[in-house]
């Protein structure tokens, strides 16, 4: 699925739909790492930047479902660090409302994992970027 997405048509909406389907598949197979990798790839090629806000919301919501920061299950520190890195480098690529949703879910995951200093760092970073 990821290779098909990378070599797919250039229409941004079609690609964002394929990206969402891939991330939903990652959720179904409990592969949060691949979901985050697909999301980061999409950001890297500028896919989200040219996508309407409504589609950005769908993609980010699918990602958040796949990584399950808001669930009761434990989230690995490695996944939280990777998501934090993705969050920090994506301010310019997503609409503020969409980016806020990502940050809020990440903050919840970091807090639930008991990493208070990382949570404060995330809040400081978010404040610096508005």
Cα distance between residue 119 and residue 121, in whole Å? 5
Q: What is the pLDDT of residue 9?
A: 46
* 39 class by beta-carbon count within 10 Å (0-12 exposed, 13-18 middle, 19+ buried): buried
What pTM was estimated for this model as a whole?
0.80
How far CA 13 is from CA of 18, 58, 122, in Å, comes to 9, 11, 30
3-state DSSP assignment of residue 123 = helix
* Banded model confidence at residue 123, pLDDT cuts 50, 70, 90: very high
Q: What is the pLDDT of residue 37?
A: 92
Contact indicator for 32, 26 with CB cutoff of 8 Å: yes
Range 63-88 average pLDDT: 83
């Amino acid at each position: 699925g990821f290779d098909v997405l990378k070599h797919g048509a250039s229409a941004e909406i079609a690609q964002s739909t394929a990206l969402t389907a891939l991330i939903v598949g990652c959720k179904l197979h409990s592969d949060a790492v691949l979901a985050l990798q697909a999301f980061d790839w999409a950001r890297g090629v500028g896919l989200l930047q040219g996508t309407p806000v409504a589609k950005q919301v769908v993609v980010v919501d699918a990602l958040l479902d796949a990584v399950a920061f808001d669930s009761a299950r434990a989230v690995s520190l490695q996944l939280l660090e990777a998501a934090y890195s993705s969050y920090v480098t994506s301010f310019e690529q997503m609409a503020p409302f969409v980016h806020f949703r990502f940050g809020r879910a990440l903050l919840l995951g970091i807090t639930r994992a008991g990493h208070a200093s990382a949570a404060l760092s995330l809040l400081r970073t978010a404040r610096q970027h508005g």
